[in-house]
Amino acid sequence: METGPIIWRPREDDLENSNVARLMQRHGIADTAELRRRAAKDPGWFYPAIIEDLGIEWFEPYESLLDDSRGLPWTRWFIGGRLNIVHNVLDRHLERHAERTAVIAEDDDGSVVRLTYAQLDQRVCRLAAALSGLGVGVGDAVGFYLPMTADVVVALLACLKIGAVSVPVFAGFGPEALAARLEDCHARVLLTADGTRRKGKALQLKGAADRAAELASRVETVIVLRCTGEEIPWNPQRDLWWHEVEAEASEQWPTAVLDADARSLLLYTSGTTGKPKGVVHTHAGVQVVTAKEVGYHLDLRPAETMFWLTDIGWMMGPWEILGVLFHGGTVVLLNGSPDHPSPDRVWAMVARHSVTHLALAPTAVRVLAAHGEQWPARHDLSSVRILGSTGEPWDASSYEWYFRIAGSGRCPVMNISGGTELMGCLLAPLPTEPLKACSLQGSALGMDVDVYDEQGGSVREEVGHLVCRNAAPNMTRGFLGDPQRYLRTYFERFGEGVWAHGDWAYIDQDGYWFLTGRADDTLKIAGKRIGPGEVEAAAVAHPAVREAAAVGLDDPLKGTRLLLVAVARDPEQADDELAAEVAAHVAELMGSAMRPSEVRWVAALPITRSGKIVRGVIRRVLAG
């Protein structure tokens, strides 16, 4: 695998004034390589050091750092400590920075909502009080099916404030996918909206939320945000208007004092078979990882502004919100398309809000690049200091365009990679080291990562399995209700002492890290991960489909496009019209983002003796 030359080198400010430079100076560490080694090998030094350096506050200090008596997969952290994420990302800022802008949210139509830290606190307290009044308490799950507005920040922090578990679900999913997640986590309350707008068109969410609430047996209350003002179905025994709920609630509400391992987030992600996995995260784990990564790897400083084009239904939504607010910054959100109403939407937002940290996935960059360089050239992008990216591997031409156009060749691309199960990164650059195009530079601080061959041997200059050999506070506490599936997913290949992440990785001759794709069948469509089993189940739910296999093929725009190979119950009906009907059926159940680009009819699917579909064979045949 050929890798290119170094394209960016640290500036004087990066070397002297970055957050990670401060940490290194404080502890007499000479270079970044030494910091990475020490952070990975000595957790007893690293975590107390960064907690002090970053200023993470505890209600009660932890008595011991970790307990790994049950092995790496079940390591517990910060034993005896008590805290709450909301204290660190909101409450503590109110004394000195109450009037600083916390959130800027732009909607599809160009309208803008701004919330100061004081205004955010007031709204968070009101919703927290309302949820408590509905009987929501510590450990109770609250589902989100919301557009990416300022209200998602309120919802996230309100749930965390009272100790409830936030369960954000991508608003592009259909009702069955939403219901499966609500049922799995026993959610009693669902937060949704009447609808949203995309490229000027109103899209209803309430109907899908209603259907999901009917399918999920435990949902008692649906709180509805008014976004579009369109007429919607209403159940007076169950539904409440969000604005009325907030208006009637108290402006002050206490922040719950929680154990370090109290659940904070339940994030659903997909494997190659079976139902979606409910990934359990804790208050301490999420607090430490978001503060660490946004602070050291993205180098966000107080009062700076981050615009990461993402969604609350994916890990990066909560990651961005919590990480930015911890550091006293401003988080910028877009509920809309990056090229609507004109191809310069993103660039105009950067200039309008003086964005210092801009982050776009490769798919988004390819969309914007296709419109031409004249659109970003219309705007002053000089405020941008750091570029970010995650979600999928880069191609060289798109990366070069992003580096040259969005950052004028002066801003590093902090290309990070990890996963929902980590609520953070395995690989991430630091601003104190040079970068090669498309590289991830090296390990995220605290992560002992390597590349293994099939036999478990460490390799260089050879594509292999991305692995992690140590525990970290941000690693999931397992899959909800399914500990064995957690062990099978990450610890079966190389044993319980090695986390096998499922990505192909490569380390070049100079020690730079690159990702080349997924090592399993999990699909990433426009940076969103979905299991083929969910798509296949949706296809087979159509009465004309007997069997189906979902695979991803390379796509120049999305990175991966979804293709469905299916066996019809009646081969004589297997035509283009039925194929289009099946694709529409999948989109109806799974959401339009998961609509297959093509449905191909075959006589039979290749399967193993145990009946497992051999998707790799299908992929290779389709790719020629």
Residues 186-211: tens digit of each pLDDT: 999 999 999 999 999 999 999 999 99
Domain ranges of the chain: 91-99+117-259, 523-622
**For residue 457, what are the contacts with CB-CB under 8 A and spacing of at least 6?**
none
In CATH, the number for domain 523-622 is 3.30.300.30
Indicate the burial class of 608 (C-beta count within 10 angstroms; 0-12, 13-18, 19 or more).
exposed
Q: What is the DSSP string of 433-459?
A: S-EETT---SBPTT--EEEE-TTS-B-
For the stretch 535-593, pLDDT in tens is 887 898 899 998 899 999 988 877 789 999 999 999 999 999 999 999 999 999 888 88
Q: How far is CA 396 from CA 362, 377, 384, 528, in A?
A: 10, 21, 21, 21
Query: In this structure, what are the phi and psi dihedrals at residue 258, rounded to the nearest 5 degrees?
Result: -125, 150
Strand order in the sheet with 598-601: 545-555, 559-568, 598-601
Q: Report the alpha-carbon distance of residue 288 to residue 326 in Å, rounded.
A: 10
Q: Is the Cβ–Cβ distance between 156 and 203 less than 8 Å? A: no
Nearest to 335, CA basis, from 355, 315, 349 = 349
Output the pTM of the full model: 0.88
Q: Is the Cβ–Cβ distance between 311 and 333 less than 8 Å? A: no
Q: Is the Cβ–Cβ distance between 600 and 592 less than 8 Å? A: no
What DSSP element (H or E) covers 89? helix 85-89
Q: Report the alpha-carbon distance of residue 11 to residue 9 in Å, rounded.
A: 7
**For residue 13, what are the contacts with CB-CB under 8 A and spacing of at least 6?**
none
Total residue count of the chain as it appears in this document? 624
Pairing of strands 305-308, 357-359: parallel
State the pLDDT at residue 612. Answer: 60
Pairing of strands 559-568, 545-555: antiparallel
The two three-digit tokens of residue 592, written as one number: 């339009």
Amino acid at 334: L
Q: Report the alpha-carbon distance of residue 82 to residue 518 in Å, rounded.
A: 37
What is the number of other CB atoms lying within 10 angstroms of the CB of residue 404? 13
Q: Report the alpha-carbon distance of residue 295 to residue 54 in Å, rounded.
A: 8
Q: Is the Cβ–Cβ distance between 273 and 520 less than 8 Å? A: no
Q: Report the alpha-carbon distance of residue 80 to residue 84 in Å, rounded.
A: 14
Query: In this structure, what are the phi and psi dihedrals at residue 609, rounded to the nearest 5 degrees?
Result: -60, -30
Q: Report the alpha-carbon distance of residue 527 to residue 523 in Å, rounded.
A: 9
The CATH architecture one would assign to domain 91-99+117-259 is: 3-Layer(aba) Sandwich (3.40)
Query: Omega into 341 within 30° of 0, i.e. cis?
Result: yes
Dihedral sign, Cα of residue 167, residue 355, residue 390, residue 262 = negative
Amino acid at 616: G
Pairing of strands 449-452, 464-468: antiparallel
Q: Is the Cβ–Cβ distance between 433 and 391 less than 8 Å? A: no
Reduced to 3 states (helix: H, G, I; strand: E, B; else coil), residue 179 is helix
Over the Cα atoms of the chain, what is R_g? 23
State the pLDDT at residue 493. Answer: 94
Q: Which residues of the chain have pLDDT under 50?
A: 609-610
